[in-house]
Structure 1
Amino acid sequence: MRRYTILVATMAVATLGTTTQSCMTLATSSVGLSILKQILLGGITKGLNIFSDKNSFLANQLIEAALPQQLKDINNTLQNLGLGNLVQKEKEYIAQAAAFTVDVSRPILTNAVNSLTAEDAARIVQGGSGAATMILKERTSQQLMAAIAPKVDAKLNEFGIVKSLNTALAGTNILGGLFGGQNNTGSVTGGISRFASEQMVNGLFNIIQNHEQQNSSQILNSLGGLGTAR
């Protein structure tokens, strides 16, 4: 009985190893890599479509979850000062500014996806669900920040929200705390735009990763179909 158990266990391990190797081979093939790219591109399109619509941006919980702590602190302070209406305006203006980042974000993300290699696919397979988005984030987040921050800053200043926040927060301790006492002007100029840009970048990757995870079964089914076809 013991020998039989050991034999079954050995066969199971061998089968698992063969299956894993087979999945790896399929995933790193040109067809498998194409499937992975299609999933990522679908997530990018979904995210940027949300960014293009103010109401969709405001209603998206994955974007809300990406709100930096510094911006939360600013908003909490404003709420405590009885300026909840200013918080709402700030959020709406950030949502409007997001639409102006779509055209610069799309080529950065698309080019990164199209540059994925078989070696990247192997990392993705080993990393599991969400790994593809993490690789994409590693390679593009800094570039995205550099590209969209100036646009966000220009729009938020154009809308007048930065000036309004400076006026509302003057005399509070929040500004010195946020900028480590290094901001001689005691204002959120530049800072609010940076925080908003961070929210956009991280929120976008949250959407892409969620899309990847929702479609992970599609990836496996497709790869399984390829294996059957062979």
Structure 2
Amino acid sequence: MRRNTILVATMAVATLGTTTQSCLALATSSVGLAVLKQILLGGITKGLNIFSDKDSFMANQLIDAALPQQLKDLNSTLQKLGLNSLVQKEKQYIAQAAAFTVDVSRPILVNAVNSLTAEDAARIVQGGSGAATQILKERTSEQLMAAIAPKVDAKLNEFGLVSSLNSALQGSNILGNILGGQNSTNSLTGGISRFASQQMVNGLFNIIENHEQQNATTIMNSLNGMK
């Protein structure tokens, strides 16, 4: 048990950027690679569990931090017009739509993690904190967007978000200006759905990266306690 703890702890040190030869050798070993995958899979599970629950999604600061500027501008404009309730409805609809992206997101992410190699582990060691998540993001972001955007678009239309926005703004072109298109149902839902999907993808990676960093830090603390 003590030996396993040391192995995992040393891997954590390597993940955080201690690039000694011994750490590099351990990180690229079968043990090190298995630990790396376990950390990432744990972050994926954590993130998708949050996506599955509307209230957890809305309350998560890492997801909120991923809100694209266009949606920030939209919400700010609505609030200035006294439409705070519509802003809340928009956020609730996006949170509800997130739950319908879980089943398509999971296999994309899990397959990418399971495909990591010793060469990837070496790059992660050299990249430092958050490097594992960055590699995962590079390899899956476009695929995730392609998979979840249609589901988000369908759900936001089903929930009537664009209709609510159009009704509230009474045919003005405010939404079109903010979202970069004309004020028509098709362009608006495409813009809102695209930016909502971006928030989901980036928010999910924020959660995974946070889990990666927290996990490594916890193990390092355990190692320090064994000295």
TM-score by length of 2: 0.85
Moved beyond 4 Å, runs of 4+: 218-222
Measured on the aligned residues, the alpha-carbon RMSD in Å equals 2.0
Q: In 2, are the aligned partners of 1:165 and 1:188 still within 8 Å (CA)? A: no
Q: How far is the alpha carbon of 1:164 from its aligned partner? A: 1.1
Q: Which residue of 2 aligns with 1:15?
A: none
Q: In 1, are the aligned partners of 2:179 and 2:192 still within 8 Å (CA)? A: no
Q: For structure 1, which runs of at least 5 residues remain unmatched after alignment?
A: 1-18, 225-230
Q: In 2, are the aligned partners of 1:40 and 1:133 still within 8 Å (CA)? A: yes
Q: In 2, are the aligned partners of 1:77 and 1:174 still within 8 Å (CA)? A: no
Q: How far is the alpha carbon of 1:218 from its aligned partner? A: 5.3
Q: Which residue of 1 aligns with 2:107?
A: 107
- Partners of 2:119 and 2:74 lie apart in 1 by 43
Higher gyration radius (CA): 1
Q: In 2, are the aligned partners of 1:73 and 1:174 still within 8 Å (CA)? A: no
- Partners of 2:213 and 2:84 lie apart in 1 by 35
Q: For structure 2, which runs of at least 5 residues remain unmatched after alignment?
A: 1-18
Q: How far is the alpha carbon of 1:184 from its aligned partner? A: 6.7
Q: Which residue of 2 aligns with 1:175?
A: 176
Q: Which residue of 2 aligns with 1:206?
A: 206
Q: How far is the alpha carbon of 1:154 from its aligned partner? A: 0.4
Q: In 2, are the aligned partners of 1:54 and 1:96 still within 8 Å (CA)? A: yes
Q: How far is the alpha carbon of 1:215 from its aligned partner? A: 1.0
Q: 1:136 to 1:50 in 2, by over 3 A?
A: same
How many percent identity over aligned positions? Answer: 80
- Partners of 2:50 and 2:191 lie apart in 1 by 24
Q: How far is the alpha carbon of 1:167 from its aligned partner? A: 2.7
| Aligned: 1:185 with 2:221 | no
Q: Which residue of 1 aligns with 2:52?
A: 52
- Partners of 1:134 and 1:171 lie apart in 2 by 40
Q: 1:206 to 1:146 in 2, by over 3 A?
A: same
Aligned length: 204
Report the AA paired with residue 185 of structure 1: S
Q: In 2, are the aligned partners of 1:50 and 1:57 still within 8 Å (CA)? A: yes
Q: How far is the alpha carbon of 1:178 from its aligned partner? A: 2.8
Q: How far is the alpha carbon of 1:173 from its aligned partner? A: 3.6
Deviates more, 1:186-195 or 1:49-58: 186-195
Q: In 2, are the aligned partners of 1:79 and 1:87 still within 8 Å (CA)? A: yes
Q: 1:77 to 1:184 in 2, by over 3 A?
A: closer
Q: How far is the alpha carbon of 1:63 from its aligned partner? A: 0.2
Q: Which residue of 2 aligns with 1:6?
A: none
Q: In 2, are the aligned partners of 1:78 and 1:168 still within 8 Å (CA)? A: no
| Aligned: 1:71 with 2:58 | no
TM-score by length of 1: 0.83
- Partners of 1:74 and 1:177 lie apart in 2 by 6
Deviates more, 1:183-192 or 1:67-76: 183-192
